Structure 1
Amino acid sequence: MDPFPPDAPQSLSSGGTSPEQPNDGSAMAASLTGAASSSASTSQAPAAAAGPTVPAACLACRSKHLKCDGFTPCSRCTSSNQECIYVASRRGYKGPRRNTAQNPNKRHASSSPPSSTGVSDAASCPMMLGAPPVSLPTTGFNPAVVLPGTPATTAYAQTPAPLSQMALFRNPFGSSIDQTSMALAAASTGAPPPPTSSVGERCLDAYYHYFFSAHPNVLPKEHLLRFIKDHPGRLDHLVAAMRYIGSLFLDVGPARAMYFDEAIRLAYLPTCPKDGFLVQTLLMLIVALDGSCNQERARQLLGDCERIAVEIGLNTRHFATEHGHGNRVLEESWRRTWWDLFVVDGMVAGVHRMTNFLLFDVPADVALPCEEHEYISGEIPTPMYIEDFDDQLFSGEDREFSSFAYRVAAARNLGRFMRCPPILFPEDENLAKIESLLTNWRMHLPQAKRDDLTKGCQLDEMMFQAHFITHACSILLHQPHSQLDSSPARSVNSCAPHSVVPTGDAFNSHTRHTITAACEISKMVTQAVPLLSHTHFFTCVITLSSIVHLSKWALFYIQDEEDLRQQIRLNIGALGKLSDVWKAAGTAAGQVKGVAQEIYRAKKAQQINPAFWVGFTQEEMISSLNADEGIMAEFDSMLQVVPQVTQPPTTQ
């Protein structure tokens, strides 16, 4: 069964009410109840007491609401000397009707002839009290669960109770029945149910809205839904993982843990095929677990994911063609899956410094991904390869490479840095080689790739990640040889263990590289795009930048102290915003804010000593004192305590 309900607009046929009945819920309840009791008493009376059956009443008797004997002319029209006219029944007519019933509380039993099929009204009309219950079709592979505030017609609700157990009420928006009754009526007439937005649909939409652009390896939504329809049940684990990711951005109650458990359970079933879809499932779970401060479990899944990817040959050129089934979008998805796994492996190794970027040493000849708009539209160009990217300057061919390709190149530079032997001295030639790689990457960027926005001023998330990977690599390369004492920020270890950097007497070139990269990362926070649209790895890059800012601010005297404090404020605010979804960001924000407050108190204590003000002009002294007045209160108000949602269990 297709786990996605149809997206087309739904309608409700009028199989349950006659157009002659007024749109009044209370009247309908009274009239239907009266009709049911009247029908029961009539069935028990003798047939002679029921009187002759009248197929229809004439217009004169109808207008006066009088019983008609059915003769032509009838006895009432004969006695009153009126024209006796009969018209065909309007039962089932859906058009407008003039002169509707004057008494909305009276049921017009003679407005239509009795059913000729012999089926009682209660059985043929599911909206009548006492009708047999109609089961709604359920969708999706997940077990039913009732969520707070979820409509009863969602894919995750239990089958509704029989209508006889439900109270009909008057809807203030003009509907005479509730949504469940509408769904029951629609099911009985064969019409699709009324349009609803289930929890699963909302989570899937949230996945594509918030997360897809940061790790765009799965099929675009339209192609994914088509594949699911053509291959029911094959992507259950992938859909569960996508819904889990989407649930991180929504308030869906217990569904979040349910989706995580379902994704893990299905992914690790012995019968689950080891293919590219399984790699995609594990990859998004790795990112989510890492952002939820479950780094150890994320590393376990990363090891499994890498092993499966290499076993099935995802790193080979022919994999996409052999497993794409002639679908160019699916082929592109396989190429993106490998390179996204490659980049994630590098970012985990770079920001946490607990793994060694295993995939950097795995031979891969997979074609490079295309631009994002080409992938979304399905217009996939002829792919290019990493050797084309490396030789573009010397081949003389004017080729345009995608933002994803520059993201891959930035991750490769990070891998080359991590493969260098320990750089013990600033004059080490390996340090100069890595800096040449980073500088060349920046210098040879096309004009359209120099910032993080597309030509339409939309966020280019692939270039955004490529830039912050390069800036982070520059800090990791130069900070150990700078003269910024890292000890003041030693407690900021949410992403990586503290790295000891000794202090120095002057700002050397490595200090300048480190500070410049940290400032560029802070500048990226100011992009006019939602912070939650970025990958959660940006959290650790901001934290790395904050460590540099704090180390510099802890110096005895710096000239641009106010600008520096603004950058620290900016970083803390960004981490606070990211903590709405990612628990790791909340932890990092608390640590950075705590160190900032410690440094501020130490500086305030130094101001008591008159020697502190040597070299300050009177204007500078007043400016510094005024700036210090509100900084503590501002730090306290910048980051409120964010309630952390209980993360799903991590047992396999």
Structure 2
Amino acid sequence: MDTYATVAPQLSGSSATGSPAVSSDSPGTATSSVSATSDARLGQQAAPPSVPAACLACRGKHLKCDGNTPCSRCTSSNSECLYVPSRRGYKGPRRGTAHNPNKRHASSSPPYVGAEDAATACPMMLGHGGVPIAVPSLAGFNPGIVLPEQSPVSYTAASPMTNVPLYRNSFAPAMDPNALALTTTTTPAAQVVAAPPPVQPPVPTLAERCFDAFYHFFHAGHPFVLPKEPLIRLREEGSTPNLNVLMAAMKYIGSLYVDAGPAKATYFDEAVRLCYQPGTPKDGFLIQALLLLIIGLDGQCDQGRARELLADCERYAIEIDLNKRNFATIHGRGNPVLEESWRRTWWDLYVCDGMIAGVHRITKFLLYDIQADVGLPCEEQQYLTGRIPQTFYMEDFDDQTFSDEEVDFSSFTYRIAAMRNMGRMMRMPPVMFPDDAAIDRVQSLFTNWRMHLPDGKRDDLTRNCQLDEMMFQAHFITHACTIMLHQPLSQLDTSPVAAVNSCAPHRPVPSGDNFNLHTRHTLTSASEISKMITQAVPVTRHTHFFTCVITLSSIVHLSRWALYFVDDEDHLRQQVRLNIGALHKLSRVWKAADTAWGQVKGVAQDIYRQKKAQQISPAFWVGFTQEQMISSINADEGIMSEFTNVGGVGPVNAVGVLGPGKG
């Protein structure tokens, strides 16, 4: 029948008439005695005991099961009888018991193995028929998930038995299929919400990319514009009329570092139009915009137009008193970072004016003769974080040797001092003899600058081993000044390098029989410049003025390489490789570097061919062993292959040249 089987209780030692129970003192009757309180229930039929669980076949057909193994229905239908244990009433693991991973708990169901399959059954199998439960994933279980093309009702309904085997997952947590089905059926369909897709950040516009590229590539080399966050806040306030002029110039500079296409020219034209349109007030932001355009034009080989804008920028700066001490206070709006930006604007204009005058040898470094009492800039990290310290002045810097007060001056200050030494050298009267006392006086400026550097400023690294771009520029300015001072009096014939004139006109220097002191100064500074290329930072992060400094170093190296016999020629050729590789890298951003790269590489090829022609003569190999001859020829072939390939040399990485075809 379709009801659960019931078993009638058998009460030993009791009668239908309700006679008292036999005393418990009587031997053999203790197990059949009942208490007096149970007399009232005598004669009433006891409730049938509940079946712990129904087999899967009965549950799948929604029929009652008698709980036997096998049950009567499976026996009559000759089907396999399987049970899934119930966890109702489970209170969790016992407290205080040690965890044994090999112990099977009572609530776990051992895998069912039929007698006929005992020899071949897999120990991971629970049975041979499918069960209407969902197997939880390893990442967790969400009872509100609805599978595609399946409603919550159809998802929880029992499926017919199949022959798909069910395996025990030893990695998944134990789940009660009854509780699982109950949870999914009681979850309203309206509450089932799919997880939202991840939010994708908006694609930046070209203008935004140029703005970010300005700070990523350029700002460290000329850090006079406000740091990124303060500038954005100032733009959001909307109370600065000329800020849009500065932003246009920043976009132009940033476009040089990204694939901007025709937008490059558009940004430049817009910036120039805004700078010179009627009604544009002359203020510090206009000076900053013009200075950015001057640097960009000079790096793109438009030096004539750069000089025109430089003349206007210098005139405007003096008209608005940017060179006066109180300008930063009056126009700083009580913001220490903005006040620092105005001080840096004057001094960066001063440095760029000297750079253009020194490397191109056309202008006269006008600002060197302008009286200025502007405060000295602070360290870069202080500027970027807004922690502006006490301001010092140039008289404090000049008196530091003779005062008892110890003051830590910034790297920007030593950059200004190096450029001031260049101005003093450019004001030196013409020198006619190698032992002129004027040369010693200027050289003492360079030597004193190096000698009195603090320990933390002697190299180009900060305390965190990061590149100090301001000290980097200060050092290469001093090396360039040393070459410009001593090269005319050295014995390095410059006629083989007359074609290298992209930065400055060729300066003829006659050759001599012996190297004098001026030649030694020149060669040492040229080697130091090449060594600076090996700094662990991409060369494109440096100011574009480094292009002309590298070119100046290359002229010295090539002049020496053109000599008939050179000591340590292999090292000299490696320095030429470094310079050519750095110029090639810089040429990806700056057109001036591309011109210099082509000229230096062309002269290097000519010198190499001349060297090869000399090797035809037997007199060239006098004193060489056969091994040395073979090594020299192989080295020359490798150098020539690098000079003649498309890139000139292998690409320069963070620490120099990798070699042809690498990187």
By the TM > 0.5 criterion, same fold?
yes
Equivalent residue, structure 2, for 1:579: 587
Matched, 1:256 2:264: yes
Displacement, 1:638?
6.6
Instruction: Measure the CA separation in 2 of the matches of 1:634 and 1:243.
Output: 36
Contact 1:486 1:500 survives alignment (8 Å): yes
For residue 396 of structure 1, report the CA deviation from its aligned partner: 2.0
Secondary structure of residue in 2 paired with 1:314: coil
Counterpart residue type for residue 227 of structure 2 = P
Residue number among 183, 195, 218 corresponding to 2:225 in the alignment: 218
Aligned 8 A contact 2:581 2:649 in 1 = no
Structure 1 residues 100 and 556: alpha-carbon distance in aligned structure 2, compared to 1, 3 A threshold: closer
The residue number in structure 2 matching 1:206 is 213
Which structure has more relative contact order (CA 8 Å, sep 6+)? It is: 1
**Would you say the 8 A contact 2:242–2:285 is kept in 1?**
no
What is the rounded CA distance, in whole Å, between the counterparts of 1:584 and 1:258 in structure 2?
A: 20
Match of 2:496 in 1: 488
Q: 1:638, 1:317 → 2: CA distance?
A: 52
Q: What is the total number of aligned residue pairs between the two structures?
A: 465
Letter in 1 for 2:476: F
Counterpart position of 1:455 = 463
Q: Once the 2 structures are TM-superposed, how far is the Cα of residue 252 of structure 1 from its aligned partner?
A: 2.1
- In 1, are the aligned partners of 2:336 and 2:388 still within 8 Å (CA)? yes
Identify the residue that residue 234 of structure 2 maps to in structure 1: 227
Normalised by the size of structure 2, how large is the TM-score?
A: 0.68
> C-alpha separation between the residues in 2 aligned to 1:375 and 1:549?
39
Q: What are the ranges of 5 or more consecutive residues in structure 2 without an aligned counterpart?
A: 1-141, 152-194, 651-663
Bigger drift between 200-209 and 470-479 goes to: 200-209
- 2:624 is aligned to 616
Matches within 5 A, 1:251-400: 251-400=259-408
The reply on whether 1:517 has 2:520 as its aligned counterpart is: no
C-alpha displacement of 1:620: 3.1
Does the CA contact (< 8 Å) of 1:484 and 1:502 recur in 2?
yes
Task: Judge conservation of contact 1:279–1:309 (CA < 8 Å) in 2.
Answer: yes
Residues 201 and 417 of structure 1, relative CA distance in 2, 3 Å threshold:
same
Specify the code of the residue in structure 2 equivalent to 1:498: H
Q: Which residue of 2 aligns with 1:501?
A: 509
Tell me, in whole angstroms, the C-alpha distance in 2 between the residues paired with 1:406 and 1:230.
35
Distance 1:403 1:314 in 2: 21
Extract unaligned runs of 5+ from structure 1. Answer: 1-94, 105-172, 180-193, 643-652
Alpha-carbon distance between aligned partners in 2 of 1:288 and 1:629, rounded to the nearest angstrom = 38
SS in 1 for 2:402: helix
The whole-number CA distance in structure 1 between the counterparts of 2:312 and 2:623 is: 60
* 2:255 alignment partner in structure 1: 247
Worse overlay, 402-411 or 608-617: 608-617
Equivalent residue, structure 2, for 1:473: 481
SS of the aligned residue for 2:359 comes to: helix
Partners of 1:607 and 1:527 in 2: CA distance:
36
Q: Distance in 2 between matches of 1:623 and 1:387?
A: 58
Between the aligned partners of 2:282 and 2:296, the Cα distance in structure 1 is 21
Tell me how far apart the structure 1 counterparts of residues 145 and 481 of structure 2 sit (CA, whole Å). 77
Structure 1 residue 623 displacement after superposition: 2.5
Matches of residues 615-634 of structure 1 in structure 2 within 5 Å? 615-634=623-642
Please list the CA deviations of residues 375-412 of structure 1 after superposition, one character each: whole Å capped at 9, or x if unmatched: 00000001101111111001121111000000000000
Corresponding residue for residue 472 of structure 2: 464
Which digits, 9 at most, give the CA deviation of each residue in 1:593-640, with x for residues without a partner? 100110111111111112222343444333322212222111123725
Deviations 1:463-522, CA, capped at 9 Å, x for gaps: 000000000000000000000000000000000000000000001000000000000000
Mapped to 2, the partners of 1:448 and 1:497 lie a distance apart of: 37
> Which residue does 1:564 correspond to in 2?
572
- SS at the partner of 1:395? coil
Residues 521 and 101 (structure 1 numbering): CA distance in 2 closer, same or farther, change over 3 Å? closer
Residues 519, 545 of structure 1: 8 Å contact kept:
yes
- Letter of the 2:597 counterpart: A
- Compared CA separation, residues 268 and 641, structure 1 to 2 (3 A): farther
Aligned pairs for 1:51-130 (under 5 A) are 99=146, 102=149
| Conserved? CA contact 1:532–1:578, under 8 Å | yes
**In structure 1, how many angstroms separate the alpha carbons of the residues matched to 2:278 and 2:323?**
23
C-alpha deviation, 1:559, in angstroms? 1.3
**Are the equivalent residues in 1 in contact too, given 2:431–2:438 (CA < 8 A)?**
yes
Gap change, CA 1:427 and 1:640, over 3 Å in 2: closer
Sequence identity of aligned pairs in percent? 67
Aligned partners of 2:252 and 2:267 also within 8 Å:
yes
Alpha-carbon offset, residue 103 of structure 1: 7.9
Offset at residue 257 of structure 1 (A) = 1.8
| Candidates 540, 547, 554, aligned match of 1:539 | 547
Measured at CA, do residues 625 and 98 of structure 1 come closer, stay the same or move farther in structure 2, by a change above 3 Å? closer
Partner Cα distance (2:391, 2:143) in 1: 60
Query: Which one of 431, 434, 446 corresponds to residue 442 of structure 2?
Result: 434
What is the CA–CA distance in structure 1 between the aligned matches of 2:276 and 2:147, rounded to whole Å? 63
| SS of equivalent to 2:329 | helix
* Kept in 2: contact 1:539–1:575 (CA 8 A): yes
Q: How does 1:596-615 map to 2 (within 5 A)?
A: 596-615=604-623
Select the structure of larger CA radius of gyration.
Answer: 2
**What amino acid sits opposite 2:376 in the alignment?**
L
Distance in 2 of aligned mates of 1:174 and 1:633: 58
Q: What TM-score, normalized to structure 1? A: 0.69
Q: In structure 2, what is the Cα distance between the partners aligned to 1:381 and 1:544?
A: 38
Task: Confirm or deny that 1:402 pairs with 2:410.
Answer: yes
Give 1:15's aligned residue: none
Separation in 2 of the partners of 1:533 and 1:98?
Answer: 52
Distance in 2, matches of 1:530 and 1:288, equals 19
Deviates more, 1:282-291 or 1:249-258: 249-258
Equivalent residues of 1:542, 1:571 under 8 A apart: yes
What code does the residue aligned with 1:459 have? L
Deviation by residue 1:11-41 (Cα, 9 ceiling, x = unmatched)? xxxxxxxxxxxxxxxxxxxxxxxxxxxxxxx
Matched-pair contact (CA < 8 Å) for 1:572–1:639: no
Q: CA deviation at 1:234?
A: 3.5
CA RMSD of aligned residues (A): 2.2
| Candidates 244, 250, 254, aligned match of 1:236 | 244
- The amino acid of 1:337's aligned partner reads T
Amino acid at match of 2:353: D
3-state SS of 2:645 partner = helix
